Structure 1
Amino acid sequence: MLTCDEAEEEDMAATELQNRSGVRIGTDLIDEFAVGLAGRLIRPADADYDEARRIWNAAIDRYPGLVSRCLGVADVIHAVKFAARNNLLVAVRGGGHNVAGRALCDNGIVVDLSAMRGVLVEPKTRTVRVQGGATLGDLDRETHLHGLAVPVGVVSKTGVAGLTLGGGVGWLVRKHGLSCDNAISFELVTAEGRLLAASAEEHPDLFWALRGGGGNFGIVTCFTFRAQRISSVFGGLIVHGRDKAREVLRFYRDFMATAPEELTAYAAMLTTPDGMPAVGIIACWCGDMEEGARVLAPLRAFGPPLLDAIQPMPYPSMQKLLDGAFPDGTHNYWKASFVPQLTDTVIDLLVEHGNRMESPLSACLVEFYGGAPGRVSRTDSAFAQRNAEYNIGMTAQWTDPAESERHIAWVQAMYDAFEPHSSGMHLLNFQSEPADQVIRASFGDNYSRLAEVKRKYDPMNFFSLNQNISAAAH
């Protein structure tokens, strides 16, 4: 039987930092590293360690050896060089909202950018500089002051970095394209600890890869975006009873086929806050308000709906409409597949599997991207899913960890059912556990070019906790 002192020593040994080869990293080296940080180094014994290792998705429960909360680029470089010298596994945390939990790792070091959330707007040039830890809410708050908006996602707590590096779809996607299409430069720290700028003029190969290629090539500490003149939008939620799901989804498909690109609208099998199974459509019109009212009139009249909350609103309010549907601390498991057409068979599958959902927090999503994304060649950036029309999202969300197995099984069964109808590509930001073959298929012919960029900038796969590209691929 262990004495108290022996038990304490055993606990300390269990939390010692080890590198990827199992070699212990001494406390003297860690102390020296901490002294060189302007930010803060958080260790397992610190009172706020559990908070530092917590992210939005409670299904991710990892125990990093160190969390380096960086205050600036110099801190990021310092952390990267320390990790490289000591062969540490590295995770990069921006907003911490990626469903796969790539912001955390076990035993290694988290390079935490969550304190780097600055946003600088240049109204005359309509450009915006955004630090790597900023969220969509941080970005929207600053751009809205100038009557501008950057095309980003749909939940304000999402990190700008992970969203953009994986492509980035949101309420402005059909008119103004993906988030990565609106990025005009990046500043990043490489695996060697160098600070590089990537744009059409500087390191164009890296610029190409960062627009959709994930976090494979370095830690982006600053993004520069092109902003659009958007201040207010016409949008909101329409809700119908679940018994109308087939009719509503078919109407949605036919309506969106001819809808102007100023309109982005997504549909979902969901459960209302009061527990009613429903089908909903959430729409965002980013053009002239009177024209938007005319265009949306048939969508609002169909049914008629049980709830019509379409109204003019500031764009940041639109960005927050879904925040409540993805609260912190729930367990999440997601998958997604692109389908070229929303056929009656696909709709039947949506209804069938939507009716099998066991959690009121889960949803089956239909997202139509036809428009601006498809006018960019699939070889112009790493993001290859340019001709994808519909993304089918399967989002399981629950609160009791004891229920995990059955909710994950529901997602997997739905994913398998859609595979025969899939284009073979997937929205990687929407995947909890993308297999290597899914990653390769999603990049298509761009994969070999991405592997060349990986060999050039990260041949040892220092940055591996991402939608990982093999440097050895040919």
Structure 2
Amino acid sequence: MSEATTVRLDPGAFGELRESFHGRLVRPEDPDYDTDRRIWNASIDRRPALIAFCTDSDDVASALRFATLTGLEVAVRSGGHSFPGQSLTEGGVVIDLSAMRKIRVDPERRTARVQAGTLLGELDQATQRFGLAVPSGVVTHTGVAGLTLGGGIGWLMRRYGLTIDQLTGVDLVTAGGEQVRADASENTDLFWGVRGGGGNFGVVTAFDFRLNPVGPIVLAGPIVWPMSESARLLRFYREWIAEAPDDLTTAVVHRKAPPLDFIPAELHGTPVVMVVCCWAGSVEEGERFLLPLRRFGHPVLDLCAPKQYTDHQAMFDASFPHGRWYYFKSRDVAALTDEVIELTAHHAARFTSPMTAFPIFQLGGAISRVGEEETAFSGRDSGHTFNIGATCATSAGFDEERAWARGFWSALAPFESGSYVNFLMDEGPERVRQAYGPRKYARLSELKRRYDPDNVFHLNQNISPDGAV
């Protein structure tokens, strides 16, 4: 029996919580417990003592007070996509925000107010009704909250920047249960910190975003070559994107072709390399710019075409569903040098799982034109982010696939120019410090001392309140 199932919740404290709480409270003995505790990454299996499904900020404050009073560890869950499973605790309290999913769009002012349990696909659907969008991630069942607080990379980032670059304010519940506002005029230090500093300073319950004109039609999708063409393609790609305008964001993906209906059966399981494009401007201009890529070598499949923006946003969903076993390693690199390209081609040929896929995201554009010190996010000058993912259906073969990811990641170490905190696993405090750099980490640590001196919110890429690593 797991330790968590033996935790006895203080009856007096739990009774007080139940009286003030508006949402559901789920314990290990409840019939829905095993369903309710699951998160996206099935390799993470933890048993919290309590899951508090909050309906508003008052519920969040009540759940925090209960956890503090009883001394139980706190995890905060929005979409549950944390790579290392930091949205789930063993024997503690999960503050679940999934019932908080209201979205209010003002198309005239081009703004959206978004509750913290909202998923990316829901936000896209609400804003695309008006031909507007927030730059966000690449899997629609990801939570808005976790993605945003770590920075937010996705298909519009070279045109409109990171998700945090369109964030205008947040509502937040502190470790002490205080409900505060942070924006450009109120608690400005905290507003700086939540734009890249993760969930270190409190539970964000609502986000305010600027919206941008997008679509509804974009020129988007993958162009596919045999994996054997990886090195040649990457060298061509490096030169081709050197002149790319901000309208274009791309990712190079190595994987085995999945058995999807729109992929010819003869390609299923075949090792391939693809350039996935999203052109957010005029389709005609995009067709002209993409022409050299389409003509490179001998593509085995070309699915880059005008389509609904929301359809493109969901393109990776089938590759990253709930319930698989996931492990990720990540590094930023300044450029795709010949050495980086050769390493990539070498390691891409050595994974075995038909579910493993690793994207190399193109950065730059609008990301790099925001000042490095304007937000807590670090790495605006990086050229590419490697998201080396090992994926299996079950535990079978997972250890071997994970070892492949670690080996590839280690080989890229000499070329690292930074790291994206949303792509980190549980890699220790020194790695977090490196991700932010000493100056930003010191500023974040000072904020942590002010808003969470006891480190209640430590299930994250944690900033130490004492500045230690």
Same fold (TM over 0.5): yes
Equivalent of residue 331 in structure 2, options 326, 330, 337 = 337
1:11-410 aligned at under 5 Å gives the runs 15-17=5-7, 25-231=9-215, 232-273=217-258, 274-410=268-404
Q: 1:366 is matched by which residue type in structure 2?
A: I
3-state DSSP of counterpart to 1:356: coil
Task: Compare 50-59 and 395-404 and name the one that shifted more.
Answer: 395-404
Q: Is 1:56–1:330's contact at 8 Å kept on the other side of the alignment?
A: yes
How many residue pairs get aligned? The number is 457
- 1:13 Cα deviation from its structure 2 partner: 8.5
- 1:301 Cα deviation from its structure 2 partner: 1.7
Shift in alpha-carbon separation, 1:403–1:27, aligned structure 2, 3 A: farther
Task: Provide the C-alpha distance between the structure 1 equivalents of 2:398 and 2:220, rounded to a whole number of angstroms.
Answer: 34
Task: Provide the C-alpha distance between the structure 1 equivalents of 2:121 and 2:14, rounded to a whole number of angstroms.
Answer: 34
Identity %: 44
Task: Compare 396-405 and 191-200 and name the one that shifted more.
Answer: 396-405
Counterpart of 1:451? 445
Task: Provide the C-alpha distance between the structure 2 equivalents of 1:314 and 1:363, rounded to a whole number of angstroms.
Answer: 24
3-state DSSP of counterpart to 2:290: helix
Task: Provide the C-alpha distance between the structure 1 equivalents of 2:10 and 2:214, rounded to a whole number of angstroms.
Answer: 53
Name stretches of at least 5 consecutive residues in structure 2 with no aligned partner.
259-267
Task: Compare 441-450 and 79-88 and name the one that shifted more.
Answer: 79-88
- 1:390 Cα deviation from its structure 2 partner: 1.0
Does residue 426 of the first structure (1) align with residue 419 of the second (2)?
yes
Task: Provide the C-alpha distance between the structure 1 equivalents of 2:214 and 2:2, rounded to a whole number of angstroms.
Answer: 54
Q: Is 1:56–1:328's contact at 8 Å kept on the other side of the alignment?
A: yes
3-state DSSP of counterpart to 1:365: strand
Equivalent of residue 407 in structure 2, options 404, 413, 418 = 413
Task: Provide the C-alpha distance between the structure 2 equivalents of 1:331 and 1:420, rounded to a whole number of angstroms.
Answer: 28
Counterpart of 2:431? 438
3-state DSSP of counterpart to 1:15: helix
- 1:262 Cα deviation from its structure 2 partner: 0.4
- 1:270 Cα deviation from its structure 2 partner: 0.8
Q: Deviations over 1:269-316 (max 9, x none)?
A: 111011000001100000111111111111122123111011111211
Q: Deviations over 1:69-105 (max 9, x none)?
A: 0111111111111111222100000011121111100
3-state DSSP of counterpart to 2:132: coil
Task: Provide the C-alpha distance between the structure 2 equivalents of 1:27 and 1:353, rounded to a whole number of angstroms.
Answer: 54
Shift in alpha-carbon separation, 1:272–1:81, aligned structure 2, 3 A: same
Q: 2:426 is matched by which residue type in structure 1?
A: E
Task: Provide the C-alpha distance between the structure 2 equivalents of 1:101 and 1:255, rounded to a whole number of angstroms.
Answer: 37
TM-score normalized by the length of structure 1: 0.94
Q: Deviations over 1:147-192 (max 9, x none)?
A: 1010001110111100010000000001110001110000010001
Shift in alpha-carbon separation, 1:31–1:403, aligned structure 2, 3 A: farther
Q: Deviations over 1:374-429 (max 9, x none)?
A: 11111110001111111112100001314222111111111110001112x21111
Task: Provide the C-alpha distance between the structure 2 equivalents of 1:12 and 1:236, rounded to a whole number of angstroms.
Answer: 45
Counterpart of 1:461? 455
Q: 1:417 is matched by which residue type in structure 2?
A: A
Task: Provide the C-alpha distance between the structure 2 equivalents of 1:462 and 1:28, rounded to a whole number of angstroms.
Answer: 22
Name stretches of at least 5 consecutive residues in structure 1 with no aligned partner.
1-10, 18-23
Q: Is 1:16–1:25's contact at 8 Å kept on the other side of the alignment?
A: no
Q: 1:433 is matched by which residue type in structure 2?
A: D
3-state DSSP of counterpart to 2:465: coil
3-state DSSP of counterpart to 1:293: helix
Q: Is 1:350–1:364's contact at 8 Å kept on the other side of the alignment?
A: no
Runs of 4+ in 1 over 4 A off after TM superposition: 11-14
Q: Deviations over 1:177-232 (max 9, x none)?
A: 00011100000100010110000100000000000001000000000001101122
Q: Is 1:92–1:112's contact at 8 Å kept on the other side of the alignment?
A: yes
Q: 1:291 is matched by which residue type in structure 2?
A: E
Q: Is 1:191–1:463's contact at 8 Å kept on the other side of the alignment?
A: yes
Task: Provide the C-alpha distance between the structure 2 equivalents of 1:366 and 1:416, rounded to a whole number of angstroms.
Answer: 16
- 1:363 Cα deviation from its structure 2 partner: 2.1
Shift in alpha-carbon separation, 1:450–1:13, aligned structure 2, 3 A: closer
Shift in alpha-carbon separation, 1:13–1:352, aligned structure 2, 3 A: closer
Q: Is 1:92–1:110's contact at 8 Å kept on the other side of the alignment?
A: yes
- 1:27 Cα deviation from its structure 2 partner: 3.0
Q: Is 2:2–2:47's contact at 8 Å kept on the other side of the alignment?
A: no
Q: 2:388 is matched by which residue type in structure 1?
A: M
TM-score normalized by the length of structure 2: 0.95
Task: Provide the C-alpha distance between the structure 2 equivalents of 1:26 and 1:225, rounded to a whole number of angstroms.
Answer: 40
Q: 2:444 is matched by which residue type in structure 1?
A: L
Task: Compare 205-214 and 346-355 and name the one that shifted more.
Answer: 346-355
Q: Is 1:357–1:363's contact at 8 Å kept on the other side of the alignment?
A: no
Task: Provide the C-alpha distance between the structure 2 equivalents of 1:195 and 1:348, rounded to a whole number of angstroms.
Answer: 51
Q: 2:436 is matched by which residue type in structure 1?
A: F
Task: Provide the C-alpha distance between the structure 2 equivalents of 1:389 and 1:265, rounded to a whole number of angstroms.
Answer: 12
Q: 2:383 is matched by which residue type in structure 1?
A: E
Task: Provide the C-alpha distance between the structure 2 equivalents of 1:220 and 1:13, rounded to a whole number of angstroms.
Answer: 30
